[in-house]
Amino acid sequence: MQFKTLSDYVYECNRAGQPTGYYDTDSEQWLMIGIAQTRDSDTLDVSNFRSIYNDLKKIADSNNIEYGVEILRFGHWACGWVEYLVISKDDIMIKEAEKAVQYLRESGLYDEDDYYEELYKQEQLDNDYDNDDDDSDDIISQYDIAGING
């Protein structure tokens, strides 16, 4: 698997008529691994992104690689924002990122436990939102706001 440097990626986007507006003097040190998420990403994409980042971060930390993996975040007019995982040109990071990307391509789900935990969180948020009754009477009585209770 061949990862592109960040500067190569930016060049190709600009050349294809998709201006990135990105400029940095160290873009040659980062490799794009093809893992991204946006504001509108679904639960599976969010879980895969987070899980791969966490695993690569642990590998970088355990091998004393100071800047092994980073998240690049860009504002975007169409999708609000987009985040990309990038890795350093370290041989260990390349090998581990290749394994993670290959596993994701084969299975579609990187970490089953994380995915179902995220689904549970989303379900709880949805339930809280759906059951959001008008609690003003409870708040008024709880704090005994003078003059409102009578």
DSSP class of residue 87? Answer: E
Rounded to whole angstroms, how far apart are CA atoms 116 and 44?
9
DSSP class of residue 108? Answer: S
User: What pTM does this model have?
Assistant: 0.74
Residues paired with residue 37 on neighbouring β-strands, in sequence order:
83
Q: What is the mean pLDDT of the chain?
A: 82
pLDDT in tens, 111-150: 999 999 999 988 888 777 666 555 555 655 656 555 554 4
pLDDT in tens, 16-35: 666 555 555 566 778 889 99
Q: What percent of the chain has pLDDT over 70?
A: 73
Overall average pLDDT of the 75-83 stretch: 80
pLDDT at 61 exceeding the cut of 80? yes
Query: What would the 3-class secondary structure string for 37-67 be?
Result: EECCCCHHHHHHHHHHHHHHHHHHHHCCCCC
Crossing angle of helices 112-130 and 43-62, in 10° steps, is 130
pLDDT band at 3 (very low <50, low <70, confident <90, very high): confident
Rounded to whole angstroms, how far apart are CA atoms 24 and 27?
6
**What pLDDT score does 149 carry?**
47
